[in-house]
Amino acid sequence: MCGIFCFISKTNSISFGESFFKQCQHLLNNRGPDHAGTVTFDSRVLMCGTVLWQQGSDITLQPVESDRFVLLFNGDLFIERGDLSISDTQWLLGKVTSEVANLNDLADVFKQLKGPFSLILLDKYSRKVYFARDSLGRNSLLLGQSNEGFIITSVTGNTPMAFVEIPPNGIYHIDLNSDVNGINLLSWKQPENSDISSLTVEQQFLDLSWMAKDRLHNYFNYHQVLSSQSLAEDETYDYLLNNTTISSLCDQLLKILAESVHERISNTPNHCKQCVSSKASCTHPRVGVLFSGGIDCTIVALLADRFVPPDVPICLLNVAFEKIIRPGNPKFRKNGSEASAEIDWDVPDRLTGRSTWKELQQLRPSREWHFVEINVTRKELQNYKDRISDLVFPLKSVLDESLGAALWFASRGEGLVENSEYKSTCRVMLIGSGADELFGGYSRHRVAFYRAITSKSAQPSEDEIRAGFSHLMVELDLDWNRLPSRNLARDDRIIGDHGVTPRTPYLQEDFISVVQSLKAEQRCYHPLGEGIGDKLTLRLCGYKLGLRMSAKLRKRALQFGSRIADRKQNANDSSNFLSS
């Protein structure tokens, strides 16, 4: 995880960029606490990088520079390459230097990349500045424009200057030789509506090789498998896993997901946050899991156990907020917190998290699991609202507020372990992003399915079932297409503020390819009810791993499970908290 910043002047002076950089430098330093560096070019370009050392045998200072190129890179590249002693940044600069002569060559290099990234690349020969995010938009990159020039940065803070999250549609570039100062795009997918003005589409639909879907040879349909059976709830999973096609699919998914977890754990130095500067050997926790106790995060935690050294604990980061008390309630105080000294921290996610933690202890008794109870009062939340607002910007909705705050406190990692004060030393946090979108975990997916069920009979007709799955497939596709613009970049800004790298095993290209090849009726089956039918295939994967309890827990959104959010608010409304 790094912080990257670039100012491209329209006036042959970088003074505005230097001034703006100073305003957001503290946020960039938080993302990259191990080093900061600057390169200028021709009184037109200012490039600044801050580094969080996560790759290679030694830290790579940024920006990195060759005779022709200057590179700022933030991300993780999970691709096969020979020398793992060098960082992704060094490897990419070498590849660009040796293989790139023009924009199409650069596109060919980018098509080979797998993993989350954002980058800025200056070509000193052609006098062009390129910038891009990976096609899923997993890492943050913001763009702002003023009369003085363009600013491209990982994070900016809450500023009057207008910024947008750069759509992850392809390779953007600005030509320093041009008087127009427009932004050009070489697109690798159909551009969606964008807030970026002066955007010229040079070419569309560059192929992404990993998007070729790996189709399964054996088709199955949960409705066909289950419709003729009358099963008790506790018999359903065993019955389905006796089907060789379903069982084989689960094995395939678990194999790829395990590889994803492995590469997200192994590609980082073996030092915790407090020992990294001295490179001291330690057994402090280095990997944490954002942990509600649900099936998504529990599968990730169980797979992480395979790859974290056995003498190193794994942190399960569980966050709870003081409940909102409204006027008229006897417990109400002016600050909205409880009048009594005792706060009930047993929010829904705390209860499920604690229960599932015990299940992990039973399945992997030799592992030391640190269940970190992170308790946040409304007063503490108020104290940090400006900082969280700076990180969420340019987003401002109630949902962004709620999830941003929950992730910020969770990744900070300050709480209780076995009733003793504890501060997490983790430098990597695994999160379950993407699982709900891929496997049909949201309530709107259930609503979409039942939209086609119009009869009042207990048993819908076959035509209604087919129509229900058709509606569901449309909703799944819509959710997936919205994913890059919804929350991934925000989460990257929030978690990176603590010098922690967020890593998302479900958003691995090979895993996505296989799941996206499945039809809706092969991912979930809502007639089985909540806690079983939603994300059914993923729940079966967890059941195969031995997760008997968490495989049947109902989905609960983080903002409600942690009690950060007020259900009476509209998630899409502009947040007074973030705007004030």
Chain centre to alpha carbon of residue 449? 27
Distance CA 47, CA 40 (A): 6
Annotated catalytic residues are: 2
Place of tokens 């192994």: 266
Q: What DSSP state is assigned to residue 462?
A: H
Furthest-apart CA atoms within the chain: distance in Å: 75
* Residue 334 token pair: 């002016």
In this structure, are residues 379 and 324 in contact, taking their beta carbons and an 8 Å threshold? no
In this structure, are residues 491 and 391 in contact, taking their beta carbons and an 8 Å threshold? no
The amino acid present at 51, given as its one-letter code, is V
Strands lying side by side in the sheet with 501-503: 420-423, 414-417, 369-376, 314-321, 287-290, 428-430, 501-503
233 sits in the region (left: phi over 0; alpha: psi -120 to 50; else beta) called: alpha
Distance CA 400, CA 29 (A): 23
One-character DSSP codes across 173-223: EEETT-SS--EEEEESS-----S-SSEEEEE-----GGGS----SS---HH
Name the 3-class secondary structure at 298.
Answer: helix
